[in-house]
Structure 1
Amino acid sequence: MSKRDYYDILGVTRSSDGAEIKTAYRKLAIKYHPDKNPDDKAAEDKFKEAAEAYEILSNPEKRQRYDQFGHSGNSASGFGGGNMNMDDIFSQFGDIFGGGSPFEGFFGGGRSSRGNGRRVQKGTNLRIKVKLTLEEIAKGVEKKIKVNKQVACETCDGTGAKDKSSYHTCSTCQGSGSVRRVTNTILGQMQTTSTCPTCNGQGVEITAKCTVCKGDGLVRGEETISINIPAGVSEGMQLSMSGKGNAAPHGGIPGDLIILVEEVVHESLKRDGINVIYDLYINFADAALGTSIEVPTIDGKAKIKIDPGTQAGKILRLKGKGVPEVNSYHKGDQLVYVNIWTPKAVSAEERSLLEKLKTSVNFKPQPGKSEKSFFERIKEYFE
């Protein structure tokens, strides 16, 4: 069966603005709300239908797609496929009815109250920097860090009360954190729900505060936290540890610990993504005659072969000697850039030898037989 037009559902026109659409939806939401129409399947279907129409028409981008393509224009939306969920609907209503529980001002919360209404606070997040060497980044590491943060007061066990007799269930709301009032309106008898003024939504009363934490239930403390950092992380990357931030008042939910990765500069290796670069400097004789030489890597020393006649700018690759990708088995390579070191001063004997070499046929540049340029070699390497 084809769907009804969203504008018809809300009783508005295609030229209606956002305020008119919101007002129309508010009226329908009140009229067909399940708490006002218990066990009425027809009313529940109209309630869902109105919610779907409002979800599309209240969003400028979705409304434009609907105007242009009809119902198919928002087929990827969370609504419109018969998959409506009451919790999904209620979560959309903060801007309609104002407040965390969208229908609490009309029906005492109903299905949207989600529990007893007691306010649970969450602690604030903490941010720290962790410095890592290239070796630690390549292999992954476990770091033990001392973090200064808010922790539950040991004197009062985080309650904020001086003793057990000073901490008890709120007599006004009976621990629910909210109070309800029934009023008669033209729509019938309605309930209004609001935060308990006695306990401020906590559900408990404190008659005498803890002398250490002054009733907050929190004090400054230090905790040693073990952080497992995976291999392959990079500068500026953020890791998160749930529940390792500041504690929350009165046994609430702790915040999170955000770890910012900072790379320590290596003395001889440079990182380029998952690859590692090393600048190798050899003398003219070794370049001409060839040699074997040790170069540093993340895992220690590695011996490489320099072929006779090696030109400046040649790139040698050590496969698998780079950094792994995060949460992957793939590893980069180490690229060795060959540089020919030219002495700035020579002795009289060295000068004499070089003067003789200048006239040798093998030491003269040969047109048409020159090596490829440095940039051409890099392009070939990556191709």
Structure 2
Amino acid sequence: MADHYEVLGVSRDASPEEIKKAYRRLARELHPDVNPGADAAERFKSVTHAYDVLSDPDQRARYDMGGDSPFGGGGAAGFGSFGDIFETFFGAGGGGGGARGPRPRSRRERGQDALVRVTLELGDVVFGVHRDIDVDTAVLCETCEGSCCQPDTQPVTCDICHGSGHVQQQVRSLLGNVLTNAPCRVCQGYGTTIPYPCATCQGQGRVRARRTVSLDIPAGVETGLRLQLPGSGEVGQAGGPNGDLYVEVTVKDHETFSREGDDLLATLEVSMPDAILGTTTTIESLDGPVDLEIRPGVQAGDVLTIKGRGITPLRGNQRGDLRVGVHVVTPTRLDHKERALIEDFAKRTKAPSPQLAQFHQGLFAKLRDRLRNG
């Protein structure tokens, strides 16, 4: 059996790093994926077996005392893919710094998104409104400024994985000894440990706090709409980037006005004389008084439209309309003279007798049907 040191071309007092470098050089030259010759395949087996023995301190000690590997020389019989060989032996887990090997985890993580709810009056929806919102969230720790360490201290390189965040484990298999990379349990894959964590944040780099977020809520929002504020959510662990903040809107019901798309709906009570003769009145809209003309002979359920007094759309600038449904109020208490006038009016007009008309479910249903149908 050939001497393992001679197979790798190193001296008997070669360091582990020298043995690894020698194996890398020979593996690149002899691996079957690169060199398909039969002689190269046999040499690759010998080189791999020699490395299996000499890279393990216990096996190397037994070999130096005249023994050999207890597992035999089957380590390369299956010839894993060229990429697997290089990732296993030349990756970051083995300290060689190969670009394809596993890298340590970053302590910095993106923060979670946050959701808050805000309640608006209907009048806020007409033009939009500015709000300062208090948010209970995670903010950057002012003591350590996200470093997770006590002041004047810093993370130290893990002495188990030497900063790679991973360790190599030798696993016995049917093909011999296989080296695999696994996250380091000491540093949890970060490659560093924090011997003196910040007492304020317990080594998290962030703390819980309330902060105020200024928000311009646009016109035209409606219940259930969510507004996104990028980067206004929770700060990430170890001072990582903030998540997003979502603001969910609820619009309160108004005692006078209701909403239909970008239009506002309202009901106007008109006395019977005004309905017959017509009149002009001033009503209070959500953005101030406005004059409204009631034409003579207006009927209950008629819709009077005031242009441009509705809601500014969410994406646009042309406001909807204010649509007013007429409700004619019939007097219920008449004195003797008033009753006589009404009776005389009825005789003069010769109004038809009451009769059935098309069924409808109240003034609001009738009003909405007329709005939808144009």
TM-score under structure 1 length normalisation: 0.61
- 1:118 deviates by 3.0
- 1:286 deviates by 0.5
Within a 5 Å distance, the mapping from 1:218-237 to structure 2 comes to 218-237=206-225
1:258 aligns with 2:246: yes
1:199 aligns with 2:187: yes
In structure 1, how many angstroms separate the alpha carbons of the residues matched to 2:285 and 2:349?
38
2:155–2:195 CA contact under 8 A, matched in 1: yes
1:297 aligns with 2:285: yes
Q: Deviations over 1:36-83 (max 9, x none)?
A: 989xxxxxxxxxxxxxxxxxxxxxxxxxxxxxxxxxxxxxxxxxxxxx
Give the match for residue 337 of structure 2.
349
RMSD of Structure 2 on Structure 1 (CA): 3.9
Q: Quickly say closer, same or farther: Cα 1:376–1:274, change in 2 above 3 A.
A: closer
1:315–1:378 CA contact under 8 A, matched in 2: no
- 1:322 deviates by 1.7
1:108–1:180 CA contact under 8 A, matched in 2: no
Give the match for residue 262 of structure 2.
274
- 1:193 deviates by 4.2
- 1:191 deviates by 7.2
Give the match for residue 373 of structure 2.
382
In structure 2, how many angstroms separate the alpha carbons of the residues matched to 1:154 and 1:238?
31
Q: 2:235 aligns with which of 218, 241, 247?
A: 247
The higher radius of gyration belongs to 2
- 1:213 deviates by 2.1
Structure 1: which amino acid aligns with 2:304?
A: L
In structure 1, how many angstroms separate the alpha carbons of the residues matched to 2:231 and 2:346?
72
1:120–1:202 CA contact under 8 A, matched in 2: no
Within a 5 Å distance, the mapping from 1:136-147 to structure 2 comes to 136-147=124-135
Identify the range of structure 1 (241-250 vs 158-167) with the bigger mean alpha-carbon deviation.
158-167
Tell me the SS of whatever aligns to 2:153: helix
Structure 1: which amino acid aligns with 2:218?
A: P
In structure 2, how many angstroms separate the alpha carbons of the residues matched to 1:146 and 1:376?
41
Unpaired segments of 5 or more residues in structure 2? Answer: 1-31, 35-86, 93-97
Count how many residue pairs are aligned between Structure 1 and Structure 2: 281
Give the match for residue 313 of structure 1.
301
Identify the range of structure 1 (126-135 vs 187-196) with the bigger mean alpha-carbon deviation.
187-196
- 1:207 deviates by 0.5
1:320–1:332 CA contact under 8 A, matched in 2: yes
2:325–2:367 CA contact under 8 A, matched in 1: no
Unpaired segments of 5 or more residues in structure 1? Answer: 1-35, 39-103
Q: Quickly say closer, same or farther: Cα 1:107–1:145, change in 2 above 3 A.
A: farther
Within a 5 Å distance, the mapping from 1:62-101 to structure 2 comes to none
Structure 2: which amino acid aligns with 1:136?
A: D
In structure 2, how many angstroms separate the alpha carbons of the residues matched to 1:292 and 1:112?
82
Structure 2: which amino acid aligns with 1:230?
A: P
Q: Quickly say closer, same or farther: Cα 1:356–1:197, change in 2 above 3 A.
A: same
In structure 2, how many angstroms separate the alpha carbons of the residues matched to 1:284 and 1:245?
58
In structure 2, how many angstroms separate the alpha carbons of the residues matched to 1:205 and 1:335?
68
Q: Deviations over 1:228-258 (max 9, x none)?
A: 2222110011112222222222122322212
Structure 2: which amino acid aligns with 1:295?
A: I
1:243–1:254 CA contact under 8 A, matched in 2: yes
